[in-house]
Amino acid sequence: MARDRVTTLPAGDIATRNAAGQALVEAARDNPDIWVLTADVMHSTGTKPFAQAYPDRFINVGIAEQTMVGVAAGLATCGKTPFAATFAFAASMRACEQVRSDVAYPNLNVKIYATHSGLALAKGGTTHHATEDIGIMRAIANVTVLVPADARESAKAVKAAAETFGPMYIRLRRGADPVVYGEDFDYQIGRANELRAGSDVTLIGCGRTVAECVLAANLLDDEGIEARVLDMHTVKPLDVDAIQRAVEETELVVTVEDHNILTGLGGAVAEVMAEMATSVRLKRLGLPDIYAGIGPEEGLLKQHGLTSAGIAATVSSMLA
């Protein structure tokens, strides 16, 4: 199938975290119950505009992530919709017990707003990488896990989370990621978006890797390989129907994530496919059972085969 080849995607004109922060301000205009809490990182998380617009609904607890989640839980018991904002590594690991016991166990309406996810803080080193967080959060009962692909989808994810009851982990990025979506598109929690049709292989990405999957699909066109691209923006609950269609209509499924493959998107898809008892092959691309090194993010993505060229090369070798 001949298609117009796309070798690049437009650069984002706004950082993902800032788009999400602005969406919080907009959501709060119509919902006086929305509160925001941060662990002394309102600048870094893009939540300063909320603090300026609604100072009476903003709490900075200091560098105390566990306390932040506990306070958010308390607000939720009073009918509020709190967004607890900090870096992903701290939200998922430092405050893990509080997320599980204070928020998820009583099923409170708390949103964990986690920025700088995956390898976004690549030069910050292993302590600041968040490559286990999807697995941690999807293993906690009652928690919905959202992983938007770009700034526009991040804004929609935040607004959808504000309108949907229950504990949620919103995995946001740091900078201005490539633009995947146009101005108008459908977003529904729990339903994957098919960005491109294809009958040979299904590429499933979430977050930053969705853009790389789109570009990889175009590279594969040159080899006569038709790649379907799914944006699995909700890792929990997973869109099982979309995976079922991929299994029935393509001969290979490849998951791509800036996360450890053992517990993240790849693991979730593998679990679903195993229960389907399918013979369709699955390849999980991400970090193997290691910690990422320190360096530029693009360099780390390339090292682990998570760029468009690396994804295309993997597919080509498996379908040869």
Residues annotated catalytic, as ranges:
65
* Residue 240 burial (CB count, 10 A): 15
* Residue 197 burial (CB count, 10 A): 13
Q: Which residue has the tokens 């339903």?
A: 191
Quickly list H helices, 46-168.
Answer: 48-53, 65-77, 88-89, 96-98, 133-138, 151-163
Q: Which helix (H) or strand (E) segment is 195 a member of?
A: strand 193-196
- Contact of 88 with 133, CB cutoff 8 Å: yes
What amino acid is encoded at 295 in this protein?
A: G
Signed CA dihedral, 29, 31, 32, 37: sign only: negative
